[in-house]
Chains A and B, each alone.
Chain A
Amino acid sequence: GDQVEQSPSALSLHEGTGSALRCNFTTTMRAVQWFQQNSRGSLINLFYLASGTKENGRLKSTFNSKESYSTLHIRDAQLEDSGTYFCAAEAGTQVVGQLTFGRGTRLQVYA
């Protein structure tokens, strides 16, 4: 099975609303990163977390290594937030930067 289980696989949000994406890990991870892949295919790094919570504008992410999960909260969604969101984690045994990716959440924000 997948080491990084991401949910939901797809999500539709009305502009101005919010939701949470989640990744569960089946093995101990030392850090997690969240990315947005836009319509051009570019992967934009949103967060890097080794623990705790970080916030950036309308986005907030949490990583709980003991309970093996990470979340990404989006509030006040805008049309430009549409895209595919990936979480990616480093296992304790892996070389830095060798990430295991989740399968992504396709987010569609509509007016």
Chain B
Amino acid sequence: TQLLEQSPQFLSIQEGENLTVYCNSSSVFSSLQWYRQEPGEGPVLLVTVVTGGEVKKLKRLTFQFGDARKDSSLHITAAQPGDTGLYLCAGVQAALIFGKGTTLSVSS
């Protein structure tokens, strides 16, 4: 059973555009993580959100955790080609429960 739904699945944009990726769950998680994965490599942690309503910023990336701790979003401002990759949200339990990911392609 897939507990985390990510949307959109694919996103192709031009450099300088803004975008938002959504992660929705039917379950409450104590925390949620966002990872970024590049081809041929494993995922790398970007951020962990723990508190409902929490907002964290990482340069041009803004992460938000829903008040009910069942959903999260990742917003990228002024996307750059270096942002290209697979973005994964994961609900934190002892292991991680991943969404299917959003493949982002940013062209110059």
Q: Do A and B bind each other?
A: no
